[in-house]
Every structure is written in C-alpha cells, then in structure tokens.
C-alpha cells in the first residue's frame, strides 16, 4: 500500500522538475512512511511513497524493469502475483525482487494491456514504457484504490492517489465545480464521475488511460465490468458450497503479508465471516479490533466479543464517546473533497486502534453490494414486483397523486415512509431507487440554492447519472440494476473512499476480501431468491455461514457505524450550525439561501425537528471549501 503521484507531458517531451514531483508525494506522505523515490525522463516524472507490506527491503519504487525499458509506481496489492511470476518465468522473464511490483512490469512487457484481467487485487498504478513512449494509468476493478488526474494549461497531465497531491502543484486551478456541489448534496459525497474542482477527474474503476507525448489525453477505456445478465443453475446447497469455496479463497489470498496482519470485527455478518475464515486458515490467533460506543443503542461490541471468544482471537476494543466531534476538522483534511458519511469518524478510530497492533487489516466491506445485504435493495425488489402488476399509465396517477398529498415522515424507517414508497411506485424503478439512496431530495436541495446557483446548475440533476447507469446495467431485473449501481456508483464514491482515506491517514493497509472479483461475479449470477428471501438480504451468505456463526449474529438487524451527530449539533457543534450560512466559504460563494439554512439550523437546535443529516452535510462542505481556499 502506497501513494503515487506524477507529471506526464502530452505536448512534447518537456523536462519534468523532480522536486515538483517530490512535493506532490510529500503531500501524501501518510500513505507511505517507509520509503520514497522519484524518477524522471523527458516528458515524464513518477513519484512514490511506500508502505512496506511484501518484500520489505527488496522492492523500492519507482521500479525499473530489469531490461531497462519500463518503469512503474504502484499503489495496492496483487494477490496472485506468485502464480503470475511462475507463468512469466516459464515464458522467459527474469526477476530481481520477491514482490508483486516487478510482476506487473513483466506482465506488461509480455501481454500489454491484456495483462490487466490477469491481475487479482486492488491497485492504481502508472507505468511508463520507454520503448513506446507511452504512460499507462490504471485503476482496479472496483475502485478500491483512488487515482485523481488533471490536465494543466501547458498540456501536462498530473496524477495522484489523493487530491492533495494535485493541490501541491502550483499550476492547478482551484475553481469549485457547482455541479459537484449538487452531486455532493444529493449523495453526501462527490461521486467518481466528478470532482469538487473543475478540471480534476477520477479515473473510473475498472478503466485505464494510455497517454502519449504527442496527443491529447484519450478517454479512459473500460477493461472490466460486472454482469448480472446470467444466472447460476443448481440447488441451494451446491451453490452454497461454491460460495464458501470462493470466500475461502478470497480471504486466504489476502492473508499474505510480511508484516503483522489482523481484521476489523464489528460483530456483524460480514466482518464475522471474514474472521471465521481467517481463523480456519491461520495457525496462530487472529488479531481483531473493534470500536464501541458509550451509547448502548449504538454499541455492537457484545457481538464482537462473542465472535472474538468463539474463534479465540487476540482482541482489542476501544469506546468512542460523544466528545469525538473534535475529529471533525481532521476528518475534513483527510478527504479533501466534502464527505458527509458520519461513519467515517468511528472508521478512523478503528483504523487508529488497528494500526497500534497490525499494518494490514481485513474488512467485511463489499458483501452488502454484491449479495444484496441492504434493506433498500430488498425494498426495491418488492417495489419492482409491485410495479410489474400495474402498467405505468395507472401507477403514475394513482400512486403519484397519493404520494403528493401524503404527509412526509423522513424520520421513519423506509418501510413506514408511505410518501416515499408511493412516489417511488409512481415512477420507474431506477428513479425510485435513486430517490431512496439520495440523502437530500431534489425538492429540498432546490429550497437551499440561491437563484445564481440555479442558473449555474441549469438542467443538471444529481440523480440523472445514477438513473442512467441503472438503465444501462447488464442486468435482468430491478434488483440486479440496484446492486449494479451500488457496486459501481455508491461503493467507490462512499464506502471505499471512506476506508481508503481513514486507513491511509494512519498508514494502515485495509483489504476487502469480499470484493474479490471472482466472488462478486459469482454473486451477480445467483438467482434472486438466493440473494433476497422475504425481507432477508444476503440470504445464501447467511445460510452458508451457519456452520461458523450463531443465528443471532447472522440474522440480527444491520446496524453499521452510527454517530450521534444530532446531539452534537444541538450541543458542542450548535454554534457552528448557527453560523453555517453567514461565514466562511459557504457564505462567500453566494450559492445558498442563508435565511433558509438559518431556519433549518434553528429548528434543529431547538429540538423542533431533526435536520442533523443536512446540517452535517453543509458543515462538512463548508470545511472542505475553506480548506480548498
């Protein structure tokens, strides 16, 4: 796990200042405290910060191929590198190191871009081929590892693992993209198709870009996608056996490390499953870490303690108190872009705890997206079944009319929000799912914006790219399309961004075995009835793990990391909430209706209503804009 940065000229072989590349790398030094390096040649400069995980002393970067014709900077892990190494050796390749970085170099030399589907792992890398004078930028299948890019006025392309690496380049313009603000307020994060700064892009997951010194940057090329178009056949027991095989392979392949390794343990199905399979494969006690809360309704540590005891792990836990709001400013600095998923605070705390004992930690992320573990997916499945019973010509006037007059109940769980359900049933499945996933509705967003911002935004609405993605999905059903969008839109924008930034802030490598692409591809082919059964999501995963885990762990309601932001915004953060619209960059933009925001803040602080989610979004937006200048 590392941080990478660089400069690539696309209008001639101009010299690159190595000190400039070094400063870009220094901005992300937290991602790699164990080593650094810069390599330059006419038209290109590559920089690297290293967190040593495999071949600790023998794989410095930037790494030049033994033949001297290619050089790479690489962030991530290739879990099948030993098998690839044997295959390449049989084809005549020679190796000077024992790590995975050199395997990528030789795989490129042997197969070109066709090497990418052979790489099993999480990665973002830049590889410069001196023979062809090309630079390949690549991002892994799911976007576990980030890669930001921007084209400067002089034709150079700069890239980095985090936005702060690009911000270290003096020629980068710091102009806020108002469409990214619309996206952020809808979703609580800036999705991968956009950046908070105009001109900055994120290389999409499962894509590569091949840059040349004599041509403008081409559009990224997709090299992998997940398909829900096919179905596995067979009995549930047989498919469960196949599922367990894939899960075992995914977990054991990610236990390879030359440094201390452990796991996050929440006591939920996914992290408990990972720990169970780690314990099965390990000859020594697994190291596990948990975070608890001093609010009983939010605390899951009793379940984590049970799993730790059952599998005899070496277990550490820490309690987070309501005073943890002091992390808010530090959190804004970790993400650069505005990020409003409040579970980032406890995620950072569990990463901080894990780093005291291990350098690599396995997580349970990805299973909900891949196997339909979210309640919203089960609701979508049922709503799609209901939609199929009535033609749109009847649904729209019937449910739409009822939905418009029904009172709002945003405070209630989704099954009890009749207004939301009725409006969802009135539209098509894609629009309904986008409405369910949005954290701030289009109608509410419109009340926040000033006339100037509405002119800047024009006809654009944040939900449209999400709806378009669902409609284009290689899928058979509404459930398929919902899962596809969760995997391709929500997961890289929210979940993987959260884990990457909070783990790398403390120089911890987080690995997601349940995002092994072969496991996810298998899950995408499962019949719907083995993903969702009644109101139970992730059904085959839970049924398969009965041999390892107790029933009340497998089938208890999903909790996730919850933070008491409503209380914070009525207590220690109340003054910040009151001043949101009147100070800082949020006020200077002139994009918001300050009276409307003041009224929402006053209503929340007084206890008349709960606007904590929206106020938290606006607070994190202000802090991000203040930092970006």
Residue 446 included in any domain: no
Residue 468 is assigned to a structural domain of this protein: no
Residues 624 and 614: their CA atoms lie apart, in Å, by 15
**In the prediction, which pLDDT does 582 show?**
80
Residue 383 has which token pair?
A: 């709503």
pLDDT digits (tens, 9 = 90+) for 282-306: 999 999 999 887 766 667 788 999 9
Cα distance from N-terminal residue to C-terminal residue, the chain: 30
Q: What are the binding residues?
A: 100, 291, 363-364
Q: Which domain holds residue 64?
A: 2-222
- Look at 560 and 163; give whichever has higher pLDDT: 163
Query: What does the pLDDT read at residue 463?
Result: 97
Do 369 and 491 meet the contact criterion of CB atoms below 8 Å apart?
yes
Lowest model confidence (mean pLDDT) among 383-397, 400-414, 529-543: 400-414
Q: How confident is the model over 240-265, as a mean pLDDT?
A: 97
List the catalytic residue out of 2, 25, 289, 351.
Answer: 2
Per-residue pLDDT for 194 more than 50? yes
Count structural domains, the chain.
1
Q: Is residue 138 part of a domain?
A: yes
The sheet carrying 35-41 orders its strands as 35-41, 44-50, 2-9, 156-160, 148-151, 200-202
Q: How far apart are CA 304 and CA 17, in angstroms?
A: 51
pLDDT at 423: 61
Structural domain includes residue 478 = no
The CATH number of the domain holding residue 20 is 3.60.20.10
Least confident of 56-65, 96-105, 443-452: 56-65
pTM exceeds 0.85: yes
Q: Is 289 one of the catalytic residues?
A: no
Phi, psi at 47, each rounded to 5°: -130, 155
| Span 455-491, pLDDT tens digits | 999 999 999 999 999 999 999 999 999 999 999 999 9
Residue 274 forms part of a structural domain: no
Q: Give the pLDDT of residue 422.
A: 60
Give the annotated binding-site residues for ATP: 291, 363-364
Q: Which of 54, 52, 107 is nearest to 79 (CA)?
A: 54
With tokens 């992390």, the residue in question is: 327
Residue 603 lies in a domain: no
Q: Is residue 601 pLDDT above 60, yes or no?
A: yes
pLDDT band at 411 (very low <50, low <70, confident <90, very high): very low
- E strands of 21-133, at which residues? 35-41, 44-50, 63-64, 70-78, 121-129
Binding site membership for L-glutamine: which residues?
100
Mean pLDDT of 531-537: 92
Indicate whether 7 belongs to any domain: yes
User: pLDDT by residue (tens digit) across 62-105?
Assistant: 999 999 999 999 999 999 999 999 999 999 999 999 999 999 99
Residue 318 lies in a domain: no
Segments of 140-253 assigned E as strands: 148-151, 156-160, 200-202, 207-211, 221-222
What is the rounded average pLDDT for all residues in the chain? 92
pLDDT digits (tens, 9 = 90+) for 93-149: 999 999 999 999 999 999 999 999 999 999 999 999 999 999 999 999 999 999 999
| pLDDT at 30 > cutoff 90 | yes
Q: Given this model, what pLDDT does residue 393 score?
A: 58
pLDDT of 449 over the 50 cut: yes
């Amino acid at each position: 796990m590392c941080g990478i940065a660089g400069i690539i000229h696309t209008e001639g072989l101009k010299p690159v200042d190595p000190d400039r590349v070094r400063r870009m790398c220094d901005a992300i030094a937290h991602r790699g405290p164990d080593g650094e390096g810069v390599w330059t040649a006419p038209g290109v400069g590559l920089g690297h910060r290293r967190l040593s995980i495999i071949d600790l002393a023998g794989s410095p970067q930037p790494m030049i191929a033994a033949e001297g014709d290619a050089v790479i900077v690489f962030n991530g892990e290739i879990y099948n590198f030993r098998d690839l190494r044997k295959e390449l050796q049989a084809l005549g390749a020679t190796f000077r190191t024992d790590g995975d970085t050199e395997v990528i170099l030789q795989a490129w030399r042997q197969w070109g871009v066709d090497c990418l589907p052979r790489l099993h792992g999480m990665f973002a890398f830049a590889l410069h081929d001196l023979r062809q004078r090309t630079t390949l930028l690549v991002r892994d299948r799911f976007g576990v590892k980030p890669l930001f890019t921007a084209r400067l006025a002089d034709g150079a392309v700069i890239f980095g693992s985090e936005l702060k690496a690009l911000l270290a380049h003096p020629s980068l313009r710091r102009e806020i993209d108002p469409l990214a603000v619309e996206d952020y307020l809808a979703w609580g994060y800036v999705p991968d198709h956009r950046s908070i700064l105009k001109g900055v892009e994120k290389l999409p997951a499962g894509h590569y870009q091949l840059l040349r010194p004599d041509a403008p940057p081409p559009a990224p090329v997709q090299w992998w996608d997940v398909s829900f178009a096919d179905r596995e056949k067979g009995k549930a027991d047989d498919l469960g056996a196949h599922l367990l095989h894939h899960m075992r392979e995914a977990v054991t392949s990610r236990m390879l490390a030359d440094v201390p390794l452990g796991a996050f343990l929440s006591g939920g199905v996914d992290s408990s499953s990972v720990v169970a399979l780690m314990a099965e494969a390990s000859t020594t006690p697994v190291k596990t870490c948990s975070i608890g809360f001093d609010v009983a309704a939010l605390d899951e540590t009793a379940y984590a303690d049970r799993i730790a005891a059952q599998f005899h792990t070496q277990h550490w836990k820490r309690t987070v108190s309501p005073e943890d709001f002091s992390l808010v400013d530090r959190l804004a600095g970790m993400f650069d872009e505005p990020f409003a998923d409040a579970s980032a605070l406890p995620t950072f705390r569990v990463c901080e705890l894990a780093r005291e004992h291990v350098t690599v930690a396995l997580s349970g992320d990805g299973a909900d997206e891949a196997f339909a573990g979210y309640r919203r997916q089960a609701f979508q499945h049922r709503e799609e079944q209901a939609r199929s019973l009535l033609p749109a010509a009847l649904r729209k006037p019937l449910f739409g009319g009822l939905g418009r007059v029904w009172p709002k109940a945003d405070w209630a769980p989704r099954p009890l929000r009749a207004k939301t359900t009725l409006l969802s049933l009135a539209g098509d499945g894609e629009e309904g799912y986008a409405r369910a996933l949005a954290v701030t509705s289009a109608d509410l967003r419109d009340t926040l914006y000033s006339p100037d911002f509405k002119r800047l935004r024009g006809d654009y609405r944040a939900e449209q790219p999400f709806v378009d993605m669902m409609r284009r999905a290689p899928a058979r059903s509404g459930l398929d399309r919902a899962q596809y969008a969760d995997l391709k839109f929500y997961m890289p924008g929210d979940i993987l961004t959260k884990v990457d930034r909070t783990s790398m802030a403390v120089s911890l490598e987080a690995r997601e075995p349940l995002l092994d692409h072969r496991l996810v591809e298998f899950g995408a082919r499962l019949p719907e009835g083995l993903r969702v059964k009644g109101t139970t999501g992730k059904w085959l995963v839970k049924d398969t793990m009965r041999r390892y885990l107790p029933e009340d762990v497998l089938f208890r309601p999903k909790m996730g990391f919850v933070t008491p932001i409503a209380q914070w915004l009525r207590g220690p953060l109340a003054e910040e909430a009151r001043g949101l619209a009147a100070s800082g960059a949020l006020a200077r933009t002139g994009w918001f209706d300050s009276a409307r925001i003041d009224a929402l803040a006053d209503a929340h602080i007084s206890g008349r209503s709960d606007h904590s989610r929206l106020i938290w979004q606006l607070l994190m937006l202000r802090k991000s804009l203040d930092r970006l200048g």
